């Protein structure tokens, strides 16, 4: 038996097609909610979640394939753990 318990009442949703990420994290900066997606193309894309159009803010390269992304709110940076594949 499966029991479904509603937790959040969302007002809506935005759907966007994005390549399959290898890692992701979110961050809150200056009242903006950001989504960091690491892709197989050795880059990280940053999206603004406050925008209903899921606007991509920037893309930056990584040296190797990012397996983990962490956000440090105190230092205002993200750290990645990458592996050569």
Question: In which band, very low, low, confident or very high, does the pLDDT at 81 lie, cut at 50, 70 and 90?
Answer: very high
Domain that residue 41 falls in: 21-83
- Give the DSSP letter string of the chain: ----------S-------PPEEEEEEEEETTEEEEEEEETTTEEEEEETTSTT-EEEEEEE-SSEEEEEEEETTTTEEEEEEE--
Count up the domains in the chain and report the number: 1
The whole-model pTM stands at: 0.79
Domain presence at residue 16: no
Task: Confirm whether 50 is domain-assigned.
Answer: yes
Q: What's the pLDDT score for residue 10?
A: 67
5 domain-assigned = no
Is residue 13 in some structural domain?
no
Render pLDDT for 20-76 as a digit per residue (tens, 0 to 9).
899 999 998 888 899 999 999 999 999 998 877 888 999 999 999 999 999 998 888
Residue 6 lies inside a defined structural domain of this protein = no
């Amino acid at each position: 038996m499966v029991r479904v318990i509603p937790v959040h009442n969302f007002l809506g949703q935005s759907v966007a097609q994005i390549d399959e990420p290898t890692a992701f994290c979110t961050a809150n900066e200056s009242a903006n909610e950001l989504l960091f997606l690491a892709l197989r193309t050795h880059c990280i894309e940053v999206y603004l979640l406050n925008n209903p159009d899921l606007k991509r803010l920037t893309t930056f390269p990584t040296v190797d394939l990012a397996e983990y992304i962490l956000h440090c709110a105190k230092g205002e940076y993200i750290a990645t753990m990458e592996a050569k594949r």
